[in-house]
Structure 1
Amino acid sequence: MAVNCTSLEEVRNNIDRLDQQIVTLLAERGRYVSQAARFKKDTDDVKAPQRVEQVIAKVRHLATLADANPDVTEQVYRAMIAAFIRQELDEHAGLAINPTT
């Protein structure tokens, strides 16, 4: 829950604190994305448009519950998912070249 700040500096300090948490969570999410590449057969499995839409629907609902703007949440998630798909495609391609047993 956001506190009612009394200065721009306090607002910025809170945003900086949240940015640290968000980046830490993005790093953790990215490590799971890297693992997911091992379980997918091909690039179509990596792109998984149906799964993307499931995630978008889920986060829009979560945004509503959290009193966040669902449109902003969707835009952020679509950008994040696109970036992680690119990462996962690179991971998947690397696995195809150097499969592990």
Structure 2
Amino acid sequence: MTEPSSLSEVRELIDGIDGELVRLLAERQGLVRAAASFKKDTAAVRAPDRVEQVVASVRNRAAGAGLAPDVAEAVWRAMIAAFIELELREHARIETDGQRGGTL
């Protein structure tokens, strides 16, 4: 990538990256919703050991990619917290539907 020559060019490049991140987050959201159907309870949704495993992995990958590990950790912890809340709602919906005899 060539160095941007203006602030507007920097912003345009950031906007492009943001668009790709939104697409990837939407894909991740679909997988989070799918995961909710495999988990038996809210403890499995929260999965603190898995959260720590993901964060450690992201910190390692960040360091190798030239991203500050602290920045990566902060972003992932915020993202994971938001997706856990979504997954808890999805899990509750599945449980409620299951009690009513609904289908997935």
TM-score, normalised by the number of residues in structure 2: 0.93
Structure 1 stretches of 4+ with a deviation exceeding 2 A read none
The one-letter code sitting in structure 2 at the alignment partner of 1:42 is D
Q: How far did 1:72 drift?
A: 0.5
Amino acid aligned to 2:77: R
List aligned pairs for 1:14-25, cutoff 5 A.
14-25=13-24
Give the alignment of 1:1-101 within 5 angstroms: 2-99=1-98, 100=103
Q: d(CA) in 2 for partners of 1:44 and 1:34? A: 16
User: Gaps spanning 5+ residues in structure 1: where?
Assistant: none
In structure 2, distance between residues paired with 1:59 and 1:25: 16
- Name the % identity: 54
Paired residue secondary structure (2:2): coil
CA distance in 1, matches of 2:9, 2:16: 11
